[in-house]
Amino acid sequence: MSRADRARVGAYGAAACAAAYGSMKLAQALGANALADKDPLPPQLREMLLARDPLFVASHWLLAGAAVVGVIVALATVRPWGVTVPRRLLLAIAWTLGVFMIARSIGGLGFGFVGDALLLTGVRPAPVEHAALARTLARWDLLLWSPFFLLWGMCWATAGWRLGRRGSLANNRRHFR
C-alpha cells in the first residue's frame, strides 16, 4: 500500500469512526440507550446519564456536532477542497486528536487497557459499593471502547503524519486522485 493510500485509509477511518461515534451520541440525545449503560462513568454520573439529565442530553448534542466537524476535518486532509483549510490547523487537530485518543485507549486518562486490566486483575481495587458494576464497565471498556479509541486515534495520527510529510496541500493536488 502506498503512502498516499495509507493517508486515505487514515483519513477515511477517522471520518468513519467520527460518524459512528456521532451517530451513537445523536441517538442518545434523541432518547435511545445506544450503549449509554456501557459508558465507563462513576456511578453518580452514570445514573444522571441513564436518567437523561439535561446536562448529559446537551453534552450528547454537542458531541454529535463535534463528530460532524470531525468528519469534515478528517476528509479535509485528503480531499481537494481541503486545500482551503490551513494545513497547520489540520495538522494540529489531527495530531491532537490522535494523541488524545491513543492516550485514552492506553489508560493515560484513567480508563483504557492499563486501568481496566489493573481493575480486572484486582491490582487496583474496585469501589466496594460498586464492585460488580466497575468490573462490568471495565470489561466493556477493555473490549469495546479502548480498542475503538485506539483505532480512531491511530487513524487520526496516520492522517496527520501523512499530511505533515506531504507538504503543502495546494502543491500536491495529485495526491487526491
Cα separation, 168 vs 170, in Å, equals 5
How many Å separate Cα 159 from the centre of its chain? Answer: 14
φ/ψ (deg, to 5) at 40: -80, 75
Mean pLDDT of 84-101: 95
Cell numbers representing residue 169 in the block: 496541500
Q: Report pLDDT for 109.
A: 62
In a domain, 173, yes or no: no
Describe the crossing of helices 54-76 and 3-29 by its angle, rounded to 10 degrees: 160
Closest C-alpha among 172, 157, 171 to residue 10: 157
In a domain, 50, yes or no: yes
In a domain, 175, yes or no: no
* pLDDT 10s digits, 32-77: 988 888 888 888 888 888 899 999 999 999 999 999 999 999 999 9
In a domain, 80, yes or no: yes
pLDDT at 169 over 50: no
In a domain, 75, yes or no: yes
Q: Report pLDDT for 160.
A: 92
In a domain, 174, yes or no: no
In a domain, 119, yes or no: yes
Q: Report pLDDT for 141.
A: 94
Instruction: Collapse the DSSP code of 76 into the 3-class scheme (helix H, G, I; strand E, B; otherwise coil) and give the result.
Output: helix
Percent helix, strand, coil in the chain, to 5, is 80, 0, 20
Query: How many domains are contained in the chain?
Result: 1
Cell numbers representing residue 111 in the block: 480508563
Cα separation, 92 vs 102, in Å, equals 15
In a domain, 156, yes or no: yes
DSSP state of 85: S
Q: Range of 45's domain?
A: 3-166
